[in-house]
C-alpha cells in the first residue's frame, strides 16, 4: 500500500512539475526567439570574428558571477566600421556562451554605459559561425551591406 501511494505521489508531482524550465540566464521566450534581422537592427555592431584571447576575473564569492573579456580578430562587420581587433566584455552569472580561442563567431554586440561592447551572454543570437547560416542568409536577403574593417589606429 505504501508503495502504491508513493508511486501515485510521484506521478502527480511529475505531472504538475512539468513545464518550461529556464536556466538562470534565460531570456524571455520571445527574446530568445528573435529573428536574425530584428536582432541585427537592435545591435550596435554585428561582426564575424575569430577569438584570439579570453580572460576571466575570479568569481565573486557572493554572486558567483565573473567578468569575461573576449578579444576577436574581426573578419567581416556590419552596422559600423570596426577595427580588426574588437573586445567584448560580459558579466557572466549562471550562463556562458561557450567561447573558445580560435573559434569563429557571429557576434551581436551592444554598447554599454561605459562605452565598451558586450554580447549579453547567452541572451542574444550571438553564436558560433558554423551555426549562423540562417543569420547571414537573412542579412543578405534584407540587403544589409558589410562595413569597413580596418587596422587599429596608432596608439590604440
User: What is the domain extent for residue 82?
Assistant: 26-150
Q: What percent of the chain has pLDDT over 90?
A: 60
**36 within some domain:** yes
The strand ranges marked E within the chain are: 45-56, 66-78, 82-83, 85-92, 104-111, 117-118, 127-128, 149-150
pLDDT above 50 for 117: yes
Q: What is the CATH number of the domain that holds 129?
A: 2.40.50.120
Per-residue pLDDT, 32: 52
**116 within some domain:** yes
- Please list, in sequence order, all residues whose beta carbon lies within 8 angstroms of the beta carbon of residue 98, skipping any fewer than 6 positions away: none
Residue position matching grid coordinates 534581422: 37
Per-residue pLDDT, 64: 86
**6 within some domain:** no
Tens of pLDDT, residues 4-39: 454 454 444 444 444 433 344 455 444 457 899 999
Tens of pLDDT, residues 71-86: 999 999 999 999 999 9
pLDDT above 80 for 56: yes
Into how many domains does the chain fold? 1
User: 89 falls in which pLDDT band (50, 70, 90)?
Assistant: very high
Cα–Cα distance, 107 to 94 (Å, whole number): 20
**50 within some domain:** yes
Amino acid at each position: 500500500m505504501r508503495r502504491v501511494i508513493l508511486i501515485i505521489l510521484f506521478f502527480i508531482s511529475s505531472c504538475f512539475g512539468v513545464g518550461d524550465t529556464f536556466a538562470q540566464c534565460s531570456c524571455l521566450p520571445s527574446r530568445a526567439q528573435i529573428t536574425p534581422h530584428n536582432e541585427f537592427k537592435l545591435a550596435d555592431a554585428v561582426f564575424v570574428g575569430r577569438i584570439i584571447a579570453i580572460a576571466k576575473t575570479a568569481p565573486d564569492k557572493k554572486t558567483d558571477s565573473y567578468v569575461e573579456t573576449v578579444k576577436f580578430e574581426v573578419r567581416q562587420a556590419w552596422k559600423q566600421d570596426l577595427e580588426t581587433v574588437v573586445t567584448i566584455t560580459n558579466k557572466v552569472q549562471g550562463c556562458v556562451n561557450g567561447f573558445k580561442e580560435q573559434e569563429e563567431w557571429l557576434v551581436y554586440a551592444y554598447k554599454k554605459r561605459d562605452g565598451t561592447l558586450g554580447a549579453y551572454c547567452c541572451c542574444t543570437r550571438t553564436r558560433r559561425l558554423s551555426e549562423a547560416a540562417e543569420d547571414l542568409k537573412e542579412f543578405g536577403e534584407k540587403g544589409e551591406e558589410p562595413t569597413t574593417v580596418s587596422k587599429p589606429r596608432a596608439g590604440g
